[in-house]
């Protein structure tokens, strides 16, 4: 590959001098080169080849036991001042961090090859797209980036002789958790990641570029980078309406993006098309003033456990070829894969995610997990049976509704609508959710996760809310309607009260009816809730209108507690932003409190 861009060449020389690799290999994106790398990874044991008849082109990878999820406490936003990063991001002065990391990178690739991966987030020649170059010493990263992005010569062409790019440096070094750092320098358009080989820590196009750096760029340039799925809902008349939804990690984005409608809706002619399952970039189209979304990724890095033919047929189908599985279990009988929730039949001759050979049936019967709860598949989006024909539309799809949602056993009702954009921004800003296995740390603890961006915002969260308000003003009448959902409400016995998955379509239909002005709602303290009879429960034999009513109840005491709680309450949360908090957010909080009292 001939590189003419001087900025690329200068940076490469500098990084080579720092990491001191034995070799440098340019990734051109060709199948021949990828095949060579797969062979090499299999030869060294980095990857395991799976059953090529049942799972053609599929491979397995196991990470270090201490390296199975994003590490939020070791993720930094190094803006010139601490205030720019804000109170909920880890911060260190850029000079200090560069010095600290340079000592770690020094010679970290000795005896190894440095792979140079040019990649596009978005499609070629799209006004939405951004280009990055990731340097890495991991073949696993190269192969994953090949699925998740448009990689190789196509990206070099996009950069051209003078173009800019995000400078991404990754070294797995010795995967030492004590010296693991995932660091962003937004002002330098630079990402440095070291001592991890896991997903969101090392596939730097994903959370690091497409959310943290992109959110910062979006603020400068007037657009949004969001942790959102994008789906198209086709009605029997053949019209497709697009919805974006922001849920925290492991809270149902991939599932909602690929949902299969309940039988009675399918028969009527309803369909769901997937545009994206994790990240959306949104811009106001200068021609019609509406908000349009693209998915900057080319693949799905999805949670394996819980994915089955029943819960997510389309995601499972997408994993049947050209997929890399990470930290699931291997069925040694036929070299296929297994995870909790795939079916009720764990393999007897299994290798669990840490690499021990076990009798899977006895092992799971004892309550052990064969697959890590955050085990994942990296699958090409093109494999997905319900991929939208707009998936690669360089101009994106027009967005009718934005949905926020979290995992809340109590408090949040099944669905409600905000009164307007400003209130909707408040609803997003005050989102809370129980933590999941997608990041290291305790699981199941309620924490505030504004817009599902708590771990991903590349600057001060309060300034980011201000950006939402600004964008709302620009959109005016064209602003999508904003909703909040909760699929995870539980009854007093701890059972989910809503069937979820495909049945979430019933809620989407109410949302689109609201957007079209076709259905009434009850205005209450928190916004508009559906009249219980307006959530269609056809064929849900175990559900009554009374049950829907229970799902929609607003427990004022719970809500007031959500505001006042000395640890997790909204007031305490807002207070940390001081005078950076937009006045509109304080106003909305006052209004909510008054409405509840
Ligand atoms: P990230 O890739 O981490 O961003 O996660 P995600 O938001 O795409 O979550 P995903 O769709 O992979 O779902 C995570 C977990 O939630 C899986 O175990 C699912 O089975 C479960 N889940 C998804 N949707 C629902 C639902 O409607 N109801 C219930 N009860 N569980 C769900
Ligand atoms: C998430 O945690 O939200 C993910 C997985 O999508 S990772 O790429 O590891 O961030
Ligand atoms: Mn995610």
CATH number at residue 316: 2.170.8.10
Structural domain ending residue among the three candidates 352, 383, 414: 383
Are 247 and 308 part of one and the same domain?
no
- 266 and 346 together in one domain: no
CA 548 to chain centre: 29
**Ligand 2, pocket-test mutation among 170, 301, 453, most atoms within 8 A of CB:** 301
What is the chain's pLDDT, residue by residue, as a tens digit (597 residues)?
788 999 999 999 999 999 999 999 999 999 999 999 999 999 999 999 999 999 999 999 999 999 999 999 999 999 999 999 999 999 999 999 999 999 999 999 999 999 999 999 999 999 999 999 999 999 999 999 999 999 999 999 999 999 999 999 999 999 999 999 999 999 999 999 999 999 999 999 999 999 999 999 999 999 999 999 999 999 999 999 999 999 999 999 999 999 999 999 999 999 999 999 999 999 999 999 999 999 999 999 999 999 999 999 999 999 999 999 999 999 999 999 999 999 999 999 999 999 999 999 999 999 999 999 999 999 999 999 999 999 999 999 999 999 999 999 999 999 999 999 999 999 999 999 999 999 999 999 999 999 999 999 999 999 999 999 999 999 999 999 999 999 999 999 999 999 999 999 999 999 999 999 999 999 999 999 999 999 999 999 999 999 999 999 999 999 999 999 999 999 999 999 999 999 999 999 999 999 999
Cα 304 to ligand 1 centroid, rounded to whole Å? 10
Helices (H), 160-306: 199-202, 214-221, 253-257, 263-268
Alpha-carbon gap, residue 181 to 101, rounded angstroms? 8
Backbone φ and ψ for 530, nearest 5 degrees, come out as -65, 150
Query: What DSSP string describes 31-51?
Result: HHHHHHHHHHHHHHTSSEE--
Ligand lying nearest the CA atom of residue 303: 1
The answer to whether residue 59 is domain-embedded is: no
Are 541 and 450 within one domain? yes
Q: Which residues, in sequence order, are CB contacts of 49 under 8 Å at separation 6+?
A: 38, 42, 59, 60, 335
Last residue of a domain, one of 383, 406, 432: 383
Domain check: are 238 and 349 in the same one?
no
Cβ neighbours around 545 below 10 Å, total: 13
d(CA 73, CA 572): 21
Closest residue CA from atom 27 of ligand 1:
500
pLDDT of residue 513: 98
Q: Is the distance from the beta carbon of residue 278 to the nearest atom of ligand 1 less than 6 Å?
A: yes
| Radius of gyration for the alpha carbons in the chain, expressed in angstroms and rounded | 23
596 HSE (CA, 13 A, CB side): 18
Pairing state between β 280-284 and 23-26: unpaired
Tokens of 253: 């984005």
Q: Which 3 state secondary structure label does DSSP give 182?
A: strand
Whether 63 is covered by a domain: the verdict is no
Q: DSSP assignment of 521-582, as one string?
A: -EEETTEEE--GGGS--TT-TT--HHHHHHHH---HHHHHHHHH-TTT-HHHHHHTTGGGS-
- CATH number for the domain including 473? 3.90.228.20
In this structure, the answer to whether residues 241 and 286 fall within a common structural domain is: yes
Of all protein residues, the one whose alpha carbon is nearest to atom 26 of ligand 1 is 500
Question: Would 275 be classed as within a structural domain?
Answer: yes
- On whether both 369 and 459 belong to a single domain, the answer is no
DSSP per-residue letters across 220-256: HHT-EEESEEEEEEE-TTS-EEEEEEE--TTSSHHHH
Count, residues in the chain: 597
Residues paired with residue 412 on neighbouring β-strands, in sequence order: none
In a domain, 53, yes or no: no
Q: Name the domain count of the chain.
A: 3
Atom 10 in ligand 1: which residue has the minimum CA distance? 252
- Residue 126 counted as domain residue: yes
Atom number, ligand 2, closest to the C-alpha of residue 249 = 3
Residues ≥6 apart with Cβ < 8 Å to 210: 121, 130, 225, 279, 281, 296, 297
Give the list of residues 6+ apart from residue 6 with CB closer than 8 angstroms, or none: 161
Choose the residue to mutate in 210, 231, 252, 433 for probing ligand 1, maximizing ligand atoms within 8 Å of C-beta. Answer: 252
Parent domain of 369: 300-383
Question: In the prediction, which pLDDT does 1 show?
Answer: 75
CB neighbour burial string for 335-357, b if at least 16 within 10 angstroms, e if fewer: bbbbbbbbeeebbeebbbbeeee
Q: So what's the pLDDT on residue 36?
A: 98
Does 578 lie in the same domain as 503?
yes
Using CA atoms, how far apart are residues 377 and 343, in angstroms rounded to an integer? 17
Q: Are 32 and 128 part of one and the same domain? A: yes
In a domain, 10, yes or no: yes
Please calculate the CA angle 315-321-326 and round it to the nearest 5 degrees: 70
Q: Are residues 156 and 94 in the same domain?
A: yes
pLDDT confidence of residue 196:
98
Active site residue 251: yes
Pair 231, 340 in one domain: no
* Confidence at residue 236, expressed as pLDDT on a 0 to 100 scale: 98
Tell me if 302 CB under 6 Å of ligand 1.
Answer: yes
Q: Does the residue 174 lie in any domain?
A: yes
Specify if 60 maps to a domain: no
**pLDDT, tens digit, 9 for 90 and up, residues 270-317:** 999 999 999 999 999 999 999 999 999 999 999 999 999 999 999 999
| Residue 99 sits in the same domain as residue 154 | yes
Do 545 and 397 lie in a common domain?
Answer: yes
* The Cα angle at residue 152 between residues 105 and 20, in degrees rounded to 5: 20
Predicted pLDDT of residue 416: 98
Q: Rounded to whole angstroms, how far apart are CA atoms 82 and 263?
A: 53
At 322, is the secondary structure helix, strand, or coil?
coil
User: Which CATH number goes with the domain that contains 103?
Assistant: 3.40.449.10
Domain boundary among 334, 352, 383: 383
Please pick, among 168, 251, 384, 386, the residue that the annotation labels catalytic. 251
Cβ 85 vs Cβ 77: under 8 Å? yes
Tell me, what's the pLDDT at 408? 95
Q: In angstroms, how far is CA 434 from the centroid of its own chain?
A: 16
Structure token digits, residue 449: 């996760």
What is the C-alpha separation between 299 and 295, in angstroms, rounded? 10
Taking the centre of ligand 2 as the mean of its atom positions, its distance from the CA of residue 323, in whole angstroms, is 17
Cα–Cα distances in angstroms (integers) from residue 155 to residues 129, 207, 401, in the given order: 10, 19, 32
Centre of ligand 3 from the C-alpha of residue 43, in Å: 31
Query: What are the structure tokens assigned to 155, written together?
Result: 């990206």
């Amino acid at each position: 590959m001939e590189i003419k861009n001087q900025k690329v060449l200068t940076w490469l020389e500098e990084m080579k001098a720092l990491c001191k690799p034995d070799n440098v290999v340019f990734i051109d994106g060709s199948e021949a080169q990828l095949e060579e790398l797969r062979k090499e990874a299999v030869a060294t044991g980095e990857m395991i080849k799976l059953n090529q008849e049942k799972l053609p082109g599929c491979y397995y990878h196991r990470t270090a036991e201490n390296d199975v999820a994003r590490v939020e406490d070791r993720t930094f936003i190094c803006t010139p001042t601490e205030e720019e990063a804000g109170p909920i991001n880890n911060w260190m002065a850029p000079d200090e961090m560069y010095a600290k990391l340079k000592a770690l990178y020094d010679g970290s690739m000795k005896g190894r090859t440095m792979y140079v991966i040019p990649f596009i987030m978005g499609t070629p020649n799209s006004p939405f797209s951004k280009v990055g170059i990731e340097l890495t010493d991991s073949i696993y990263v190269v192969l994953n980036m090949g699925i998740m992005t448009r990689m190789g010569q196509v990206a070099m062409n996009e950069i051209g002789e003078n173009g800019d790019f995000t400078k991404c440096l990754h070294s797995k070094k010795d995967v030492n958790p004590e010296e693991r750092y995932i660091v962003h320098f937004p002002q330098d358009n630079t990402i440095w990641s070291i001592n991890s080989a896991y997903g969101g820590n090392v596939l730097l196009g994903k959370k690091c570029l497409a959310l943290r750096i992109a959110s910062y760029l979006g603020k400068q340039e007037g657009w949004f980078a969001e942790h959102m799925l994008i789906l198209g809902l086709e009605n029997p008349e053949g019209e497709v309406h697009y919805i974006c939804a922001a849920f925290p990690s492991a809270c149902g984005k991939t599932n909602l993006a690929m949902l299969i409608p309940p039988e009675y809706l399918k028969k009527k002619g309803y369909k769901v098309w997937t545009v994206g399952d994790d990240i959306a970039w949104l811009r106001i189209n200068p021609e019609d003033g509406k908000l349009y979304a693209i998915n900057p990724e080319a693949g799905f890095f999805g949670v394996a456990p819980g994915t089955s033919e029943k819960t997510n047929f389309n995601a499972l189908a997408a994993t049947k070829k050209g997929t890399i599985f990470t930290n699931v279990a291997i069925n040694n009988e036929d070299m296929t894969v297994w995870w909790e929730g795939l079916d009720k039949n764990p393999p007897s001759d299994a290798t669990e995610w840490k690499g021990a050979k076990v009798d899977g049936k006895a092992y799971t019967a004892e309550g052990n997990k064969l697959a890590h709860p955050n085990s994942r598949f990296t699958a090409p989006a093109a494999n997905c049976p319900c991929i939208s024909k707009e998936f690669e539309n360089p101009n994106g799809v027009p967005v009718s509704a934005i949905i926020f949602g979290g995992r809340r056993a109590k408090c949040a009702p099944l669905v409600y609508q905000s009164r307007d954009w400003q209130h909707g921004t408040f609803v997003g800003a005050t989102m809370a959710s129980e933590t999941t296995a997608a990041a290291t740390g305790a699981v199941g603890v309620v924490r505030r996760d504004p817009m599902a961006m708590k771990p991903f915002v590349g600057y001060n969260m309060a300034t980011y809310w201000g950006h939402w308000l600004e964008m709302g003003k620009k959109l005016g009448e064209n602003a999508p309607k904003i909703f909040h959902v909760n699929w995870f409400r539980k009854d007093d016995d701890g059972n989910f009260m809503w069937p979820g998955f495909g049945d979430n379509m019933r809620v989407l239909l109410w949302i689109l009816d609201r957007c079209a002005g076709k259905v009434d709602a009850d205005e209450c303290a928190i916004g508009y809730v559906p009249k219980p009879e307006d959530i269609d429960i056809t064929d849900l034999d175990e559900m009554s209108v009374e049950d829907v009513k229970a799902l929609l109840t607003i427990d004022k005491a719970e809500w007031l507690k959500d505001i006042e709680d000395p640890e997790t309450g909204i007031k305490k949360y807002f207070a940390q932003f001081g005078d950076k908090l937009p006045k509109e957010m304080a106003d909305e909080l006052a209004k909510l409190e008054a409405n509840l009292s």
